[in-house]
Amino acid sequence: MTKAQWRFEFYRTGVVIITAVLLSLLIIVLVSDMPGLAIKLFLTGPLDSLRHFGNLVEMVVPLLFTGLATTVMFTASQFNLGAEGAFFFGAIGAAFIAVNWNLPPVLHPAVAIVWGGIIGSVFCGIPGALKVKWGSSELVSSLMFNYIAFFLGLYLINYLLRDVTAGAMVSFPFANSSKLVKIIPKTRIHTGLFIAVFTVLVMGVFTYRTRWGYRIRVLGTNIEFARYSGINTTWTIVMSQVLGGFLAGMGGSIELLGMYRRFEWQTLPGYGWTGIIVAILAHNNPFYVPLAALFLAYMKIGSDIMSRSTDMPNEFVAIIQGMIIILISASSFLSKQRHKMIVREAIS
Amino acid sequence: MTSDAVLSMEDITKVYPNGIVANKGVNFSVRTGEIHGLVGENGAGKTTLMQILFGLNQADVGKIFFNGKEIKIDSPHAAIAQGIGMVHQHFMLVPSLTVSENLVLGLEPRRGFIFDKSRGIHITQELSKKYNLKVEPDMLVRDLPVGLKQKVEILKALYRGAKILILDEPTAVLTPQEMVELFNELRQLRDEGNTIIFISHKLAEVKALCNRVTVMRAGKSQGVFNVEDVTEEDISRIMVGRDVILRVEKDVAQPKESVLKVNRLTVVNSFNKRVVDDISFSLRRGEILGVAGVEGNGQRELVEAITGFGSYGLGSILIDGEDIKQLSIKEIRDLGCSHIPEDRMSYGCAPTLSVRMNLLSYKHNRREFNRRFFLMHMSTIRDVSTELVKEYQILCTSTEQEVRCMSGGNIQKVIVAREFSDNPKLIVANQPTRGIDVGATEFIRKRLVELRDRGAAVLLVSADLNEVMELSDSFLVMYGGKINAFIEDVSNFNEEKLGQYMLGLKSQDVDEIGRALHD
């Protein structure tokens, strides 16, 4: 992209975000009986105490992984929406290691995270393999696979890992050696944050500086040109999704080992879905994923805090997300301005 | 503006979403009853200007006047309502319908709610008689040769009441015989009071057919001329902005051993049709072998088979003695085979990636571009790209520019730079200069000859007869998937005979064709 195009995309994304936020404020004003307090908590809540700030960072960590996972798959033009299922299933894989194995502290979570990643990569790789083998749309099959992951996962927990003495459908407690260490007192921020930041850098370099990343980018831009360039497109299509699944599975494992003592999810946690929005907002650039993840986490935590002290329900954040998706993916939004800019630039 | 102009466009400016300025302050006008040539190199903005006139594109600045009144043309419907018709370069016909059904499509005669087929046929016959354009109403369009399809398109426009007819490069797909016929028909239409706008970049045709000519260069009009007052050389100079010699200087070829051997190759397509039918030839180091023929006679499938893009059933292809049947595209490339694809945007480049990344392509695995830990050597990639851009005179703001923002000629140069810089043994060049400007064409042709002289074997597939005749040392003519003729010496051969081979009216005997296999 030329500089002007970048500038325009930046500006467009900014307008989208501002529009979404303003509209959500409008909804608060219309719906709430205490709009002043609600807006204040929504906008400043995540920063008003260390605990709330901690919540924000805790939320960013899983979003980085699911955002990166979706980014790498979208870069290859593979519209695999399986990050949600891979996240969930990866976490279940990690839970088995955390409960059943005995390993020294640092090694234990490392093994669990890698194992969770492998489970996730198998999970996202299957829709990819189905695509190259039988031409089934990865979008449809990955979407369906999320439910397979969910129910199969609950089955495994229920029959193999359930602590019947606990009184709820949860697993046995994790071994202490398997947990990720908390790094900031009074918050639950854990060492997973370092892994996440490191992964962002690795994925950025991978995408733009390695030949594998090059193959994925060429594949995503023009599959015929990829073939023509001697790139094994079948392999690359599958590998991009395997890699995406690995990242999502890692993310699920890290979330579980950093934030929980038992496996206790009864529904899909939703980080995979939000990860798709993260990837779209970041324009599939790994280096922008942290910004997008931070923004979305801020909205979520803000509405959470707001819902606790006011009459606004926290589901209202879904409205903002929906608006962002529609506006960003509506390619003709602001296209007149873009064309004017191009005409001005071209003629001058 | 002349007062007798029936239609005029004033100060038209059009910028495409990718930032390319296709038209800049263009004035254009035509009179009743003339054939008006619109010439310019590819990318000069002729087609865009006519698309604006026909409502397929909207101008960003500028006005259109019809009989002195300003009009707005925001869709082809509006254009047709004003009596403007267009025959596109790529025909807009439904192949599975008959001639008469295509002709009346959208304005069908009806009996109650039902399409009146016999009236449709009747209308077609009437029109055909009236304008002396002979077509068979009952034939399916997909069975028609290109020349007849074009007639159907012209009739279609006339049926819709066109008084002003735009023909976009109508001769590009025609054989010399079909062209003569078309010209006679166009003259007759003109004499009946119609106006014809004839887009072309072939000056001899303009000179033979048109009354006046508007010359375009780089999106701007360079003026209007009476055809009698100017010579072909004059127009060429105005069009290109300098004198061009399209003759390629080359010595007699000195062929050495065979690099490519095609033996009884047969390709069957998904409709079970033999698109390449039992052909054999060999190509030697140091020679350019042309493949001429009307498009769609198996040339594409032949190229796909050689480059590994498509599979083939029977026969064998050997590159340097190695059978390539089981090899991947990458392995064929590793044998030293370069490939300039026919469709540069679909196969030859990644439009939204940078020049640099496009120059890398199949070389991205090479040791020189890679360091430890799978990292690519970004500075080497940058330096090599910068050098290639300089050597091949590629116009771009930097090597980081996206290729889709460049002109066709420059994109083609990026592809050529990538393919030629690799010291290839075998070059498969499919339409290497299609749709690009004269400067780039000249450059690419010279390079091909240079590479030949350095010992490369070149297979040149081209629909441009001049190109085949000019560049090749010897050439094949393909018709219906077969080799219809092998011309060993290009220098003493006339175009008319070639046309007959291309149309399948004549073919050489087996022995003559057999000479294409050298050893």
Rounded to the nearest angstrom, the gap between the alpha carbon of residue B177 and the centroid of all alpha carbons in its chain is 19
B84-87/B457-461 β-pairing: unpaired
B436 reaches A (C-beta below 8 A): no
Residue A94 near residue A116, CB atoms below 8 Å: yes
The predicted structure's pLDDT at residue B1? 40
On chain B, the residues whose CB falls within 8 A of the CB of A228 are 309, 329, 339, 341, 347-348, 361-362
Task: Determine the residue type at B259.
Answer: V
Residue B46 near residue B38, CB atoms below 8 Å: yes
Residue B136 near residue B99, CB atoms below 8 Å: yes
In a domain, A224, yes or no: yes
CB contact under 8 A, A347 and B21: yes
CATH fourth-level superfamily of B5-240? P-loop containing nucleotide triphosphate hydrolases (3.40.50.300)
Residue recorded with tokens 């009698």: B228
- Please report how the helices A317-329 and A289-309 are oriented relative to each other, as an axis angle in degrees rounded to 10: 150
Give, in degrees to the nearest 5, the angle at Cα B32 between B31 and B34: 75
Q: Is B409 exposed, middle or buried (0-12, 13-18, 19+ CB in 10 A)?
A: buried
On chain B, the residues whose CB falls within 8 A of the CB of A232 are 328, 330
According to the 3-state scheme, what is the secondary structure of A99-158?
HHCCCCCCHHHHHHHHHHHHHHHHHHHHHHHHHHHHCCCHHHHHHHHHHHHHHHHHHHHH
Closest CA–CA distance from residue B54 to any residue of chain A (Å): 21
Report d(CA B517, CA B322) in Å as an integer: 17
**Two tokens, residue B281:** 């030839």
Residue B464 near residue B434, CB atoms below 8 Å: yes
**Two tokens, residue B27:** 């004035």
B35-40/B195-200 β-pairing: parallel
In a domain, A81, yes or no: yes
Residue B428 near residue B306, CB atoms below 8 Å: yes
On chain B, the residues whose CB falls within 8 A of the CB of A227 are 309, 329
The CATH number of residue A144's host domain is: 1.10.3470
On chain A, the residues whose CB falls within 8 A of the CB of B18 are 342
On chain B, the residues whose CB falls within 8 A of the CB of A218 are 350, 353, 357, 361
Give, in degrees to the nearest 5, the angle at Cα B259 between B324 and B389: 90
Residue recorded with tokens 């090694």: A107
User: Mutation test of the interface with chain A: which of B220, B300, B311, B329, choosing the one with the most A Cβ atoms within 10 A?
Assistant: B329
Mean pLDDT of B91-112: 85
Task: Determine the residue type at A337.
Answer: Q
In a domain, A332, yes or no: no
Using one digit for the tens of pLDDT, what is the confidence trace for B149-200? 888 888 888 888 888 889 888 887 777 778 888 888 889 888 888 899 998 8
Among A210, A217, A230, whose Cβ lies nearest the Cβ of B329? A230
B15 reaches A (C-beta below 8 A): yes
Mean pLDDT of B326-354: 89
In a domain, A346, yes or no: no
Is the model more confident about B218 or about B93? B93
Report d(CA B367, CA B493) in Å as an integer: 48
- C-beta neighbour count of B306 within 10 angstroms: 25
Q: Each residue of B364-377: b (16+ CB within 10 Å) or e?
A: bbeeebbeeeeebb
The predicted structure's pLDDT at residue B241? 67
Using one digit for the tens of pLDDT, what is the confidence trace for B474-494? 889 988 888 988 888 777 777
- 8-state DSSP, B248: P
CB contact under 8 A, A339 and B17: yes
Which contiguous run of DSSP H or E holds residue A238? helix A233-259
CB contact under 8 A, A221 and B362: no
CB contact under 8 A, B351 and A221: yes
Residue recorded with tokens 């930097």: B398
**Whether the predicted pLDDT of B270 surpasses 50:** yes
- β-strand partners of B64: B9, B71
Contacts of A114 (CB under 8 A, 6+ apart): A250
Determine the residue of chain B that is closest to A232 in CA distance. Answer: B330
On chain B, the residues whose CB falls within 8 A of the CB of A339 are 15, 17, 60
Give, in degrees to the nearest 5, the angle at Cα A133 between A130 and A135: 70
Report d(CA B274, CA B479) in Å as an integer: 12
In a domain, A34, yes or no: no
Which ipTM score applies to this complex?
Answer: 0.80
Using one digit for the tens of pLDDT, what is the confidence trace for B212-253? 999 888 788 888 888 888 888 788 778 766 555 566 778 888
Q: Which residues of chain A approach chain B closer than 8 Å at the C-beta?
A: 1-2, 205, 209-212, 214-215, 217-218, 221-222, 224-232, 338-339, 342-343, 345-347
**Whether the predicted pLDDT of B385 surpasses 50:** yes
Residue A306 near residue A312, CB atoms below 8 Å: yes
Residue A302: name the closest of A66, A65, A17, A55 by CA: A55
Residue A212: name the closest of A191, A240, A185 by CA: A240
In a domain, A273, yes or no: yes
Sign, Cα dihedral of B127, B131, B136, B140: negative
The predicted structure's pLDDT at residue B503? 75
Q: Is B31 exposed, middle or buried (0-12, 13-18, 19+ CB in 10 A)?
A: middle
Helix (H, G, I), strand (E, B) or coil at B408: helix
Determine the residue of chain B that is closest to A348 in CA distance. Answer: B21
Q: Where in chain B is CATH 3.40.50.300?
A: 5-240, 258-514
Banded pLDDT at B2 (limits 50, 70, 90)? very low
Q: Is A287 exposed, middle or buried (0-12, 13-18, 19+ CB in 10 A)?
A: middle
Among A2, A210, A342, whose Cβ lies nearest the Cβ of B376? A210
CATH class of B258-514: alpha beta
Report d(CA B63, CA B54) in Å as an integer: 13
Q: Is B114 exposed, middle or buried (0-12, 13-18, 19+ CB in 10 A)?
A: exposed
User: Mutation test of the interface with chain A: which of B12, B13, B15, B379, choosing the one with the most A Cβ atoms within 10 A?
Assistant: B15
Among B21, B357, B370, whose Cβ lies nearest the Cβ of A346? B21
Could you give the number of structural domains in chain A? 1
**Two tokens, residue B146:** 């290109």
B84-87/B164-168 β-pairing: parallel
Residue A248: name the closest of A12, A20, A85, A39 by CA: A85
In a domain, A174, yes or no: yes
CB contact under 8 A, B329 and A205: no
Greatest mean pLDDT range, A77-86, A303-312, B371-380, B456-465? A77-86
**Two tokens, residue A275:** 């990860």
Q: Could you tell me what percentage of chain B is helix, strand and coil, using 3-state DSSP and rounding each to the nearest 5? A: 35, 25, 40
In degrees rounded to 5, what are phi and psi of residue B79? Answer: -65, -45
Using one digit for the tens of pLDDT, what is the confidence trace for A182-194? 888 888 889 999 9
Determine the residue of chain A that is closest to B20 in CA distance. Answer: A346
Contacts of B69 (CB under 8 A, 6+ apart): none
On chain A, the residues whose CB falls within 8 A of the CB of B15 are 339, 342-343, 346-347
Closest CA–CA distance from residue A107 to any residue of chain B (Å): 24
Banded pLDDT at B92 (limits 50, 70, 90)? confident
Query: Would you write out chain A's pLDDT as a tens digit for each of its 348 residues?
Result: 566 667 777 888 888 888 888 888 888 888 888 888 888 888 888 898 899 999 999 999 999 999 999 999 999 999 999 999 999 999 999 999 999 888 888 899 999 999 999 999 999 999 999 999 998 889 999 999 999 999 999 999 888 888 888 888 888 888 888 888 888 888 888 999 999 999 999 999 999 999 899 999 999 999 999 999 989 999 999 999 999 999 999 999 999 999 998 898 988 998 999 999 999 888 899 999 999 999 989 988 988 888 888 888 878 888 888 888 787 777 666 677 777 776 776 666
User: Mutation test of the interface with chain B: which of A75, A225, A334, A345, choosing the one with the most B Cβ atoms within 10 A?
Assistant: A225
Query: Could you tell me if residue B128 is left (phi over 0), alpha (psi between -120 and 50 degrees) or otherwise beta?
Result: alpha
Determine the residue of chain B that is closest to A222 in CA distance. Answer: B350
Residue B341: name the closest of B503, B511, B182, B461 by CA: B461
The predicted structure's pLDDT at residue A2? 60
Residue B394: name the closest of B382, B386, B404 by CA: B386
